[in-house]
A and B are shown apart, each in its own frame.
Chain A
């Protein structure tokens, strides 16, 4: 048995037991094309544990009702569960209070909310917004729209060949006109973990606001918004073992307080007359209309779930998987890793010489292995690395070294098809 297989023998170790985690995910126990499913597309969305599925089902079976407006028992129960989820989300990222947690559809809506509410009311022609060259389209396009509306300028912090943000360049770009720095916590296309402490500290020194796109981080590393000192932090439930259609915008209370509403409607008001409307308190000011109640409750259950596994345990386990997969991938001739930062989340983006990522995706699917191929909603990253697309395997707490082995063998099989 080769040295690289030793990971099997060093297990089980204290910490996370992936086999037991797997048992919580009914979907994983299926075959695809006659092979056991190896789901390695977790950066796109994660699977859901039965604890989440059952909680959502319980809501619909037992206490479905609209929230914040009924005196009847079901409505009170639903309200309580929804608000409990908000408190759980606040604790999860160590917000000061639940008022700082705005429920939204996901990371994308969270960023759009900040752009349209904070940005549109604050920015003027000549102001600058800094983003990085590794951002997801959802942390690019809302700012482009805002720039079109206000005359502000979008500037892009470059990255090096490993896919790391060049901090010296960032420092030089930060200036008097910088009003906002919006960067990802972990890059979905490259895996890079950004040095948020430094990025945020520098921005604060210049009086710029900060928004962190935490879509790829929330399920994989501990997030503490107070320790980070960021102004806004966004994440999606569906990448955190929770449902789609629900996510969180964290905003510092004082900032949210000053911001105008994002959308108008029910629930976000206190008093409405035809002459004048008094807006509701935080966070309801930003939550017009009936929200995704089941989603919020499901997200609360998902947070309970990952807290039970332990974020530190998840992170340590996924780092081992990544190291194991990276070493094995490097041994494949003709394989080029895209994203080789010193600090990376468990994302393995790669290309094979002479073989298009789409063909890799199809041939792996045939072996029951689900990866993503394409530009990963980060076309500028593809351009930066001179590739039209990459193949990407992204890991979660339920993935195993055996699945990594299958991925590696699968890639060898891909090469054989084209040899």
Chain B
């Protein structure tokens, strides 16, 4: 039996209650919507890129604790990162929450490792990855809203 505490870790409960970098970014130079039509989770991601670097990143929207906490943690982790670093983190994160053994990436992901528990909840993986797919698409020039389906 999986321990519920592995999913709803303190970090997640905290970031759900007080999401960081929450609210629109007025001088964003890119923004993109992500949508999970199955559960109605909806977020908008705002990014300001300076040269090769994510200078600022914020989000707003509604969703479950996993999706809000994941977006909050993501914005924290991505601020100041280069586009290359962002892509690498996206890949590691994806591996962590989908690979059977977690891809052994948890340790390298710092606070983001709090979301490793979703691996045991297949119905919830999309909640955790919605913000990441949205970021990935946004950084690759995507303009169409991202959907999990």
A residues contacting B by CB (< 8 A) are: 33-34, 354-359, 362-363, 366, 373-375, 379, 382, 388-389, 417-418
Measured as residues with beta carbon below 8 angstroms from the partner, the interface class of chain B is 20 to 34
Residue among B8, B17, B121 having the largest count of chain A Cβ atoms under 10 Å: B8
Residue among A33, A34, A362, A389 having the largest count of chain B Cβ atoms under 10 Å: A362
Q: A359-B66, A417-B8 are in contact. Are A388 and B124 (CB under 8 A)?
A: no
| Chain B proximity of A37: nearest CB distance (Å) | 14
CB under 8 Å from chain A, chain B span 73-128: 121, 123-124, 127
Q: CA A356 – CA B17 in complex, angstroms?
A: 11
Q: Is the CB of B4 within 8 A of A366?
A: yes
> Is B16 on the interface with A (CB-CB < 8 A)?
yes
A366 partner residues in chain B, CB cutoff 8 A:
2, 4
Closest residue to A373 on the B side, CB-wise?
B39
> Is B51 on the interface with A (CB-CB < 8 A)?
no
Q: Is the CB of B123 within 8 A of A356?
A: no
- 23 A-B pairs with CB atoms under 8 Å apart are A33-B2, A34-B1, A355-B65, A356-B63, A356-B65, A357-B39, A357-B64, A358-B66, A359-B8, A359-B64, A362-B7, A362-B121, A363-B8, A366-B2, A375-B40, A382-B40, A388-B41, A388-B42, A388-B62, A389-B39, A417-B4, A418-B16, A418-B65
Q: CA A330 – CA B4 in complex, angstroms?
A: 26
A interface, by DSSP: helix, strand, loop or mixed?
Answer: mixed
Kindly list the 3 A-B residue pairs having the minimum CB-CB distance in the complex, ordered from nearest.
A356-B64, A358-B64, A388-B40
Q: A388-B41, A418-B16 are in contact. Are A359 and B65 (CB under 8 A)?
A: yes
Q: CA A354 – CA B13 in complex, angstroms?
A: 11
| Chain A proximity of B53: nearest CB distance (Å) | 33
B124 partner residues in chain A, CB cutoff 8 A:
358, 362
| Chain B proximity of A362: nearest CB distance (Å) | 6
B1 partner residues in chain A, CB cutoff 8 A:
33-34
Q: Is the CB of B123 within 8 A of A362?
A: yes
Q: Is the CB of A389 within 8 A of B40?
A: yes
| Chain A proximity of B69: nearest CB distance (Å) | 10
Q: CA A379 – CA B37 in complex, angstroms?
A: 10
A357 partner residues in chain B, CB cutoff 8 A:
39, 64
What sequence of 0s and 1s flags, for each residue 1-12 of chain B, a beta carbon within 8 Å of any chain A beta carbon?
110100110000
B17 partner residues in chain A, CB cutoff 8 A:
354, 418
Q: CA A418 – CA B4 in complex, angstroms?
A: 12
B121 partner residues in chain A, CB cutoff 8 A:
362
Q: CA A356 – CA B61 in complex, angstroms?
A: 13
Q: CA A355 – CA B17 in complex, angstroms?
A: 9
Closest residue to B16 on the A side, CB-wise?
A418
Q: Is the CB of B39 within 8 A of A374?
A: yes
- Which of A33, A379, A417 makes the CB contact (< 8 A) with B13? A417
Residue among B17, B65, B121 having the largest count of chain A Cβ atoms under 10 Å: B65
| Chain A proximity of B9: nearest CB distance (Å) | 11
Q: CA A172 – CA B61 in complex, angstroms?
A: 38
Q: CA A33 – CA B65 in complex, angstroms?
A: 21
Q: CA A357 – CA B123 in complex, angstroms?
A: 13
B13 partner residues in chain A, CB cutoff 8 A:
417-418
A362 partner residues in chain B, CB cutoff 8 A:
7, 121, 123-124
| Chain A proximity of B70: nearest CB distance (Å) | 13
Q: CA A131 – CA B64 in complex, angstroms?
A: 31
Q: CA A373 – CA B42 in complex, angstroms?
A: 16
A375 partner residues in chain B, CB cutoff 8 A:
39-40
Residue among B4, B38, B40 having the largest count of chain A Cβ atoms under 10 Å: B40
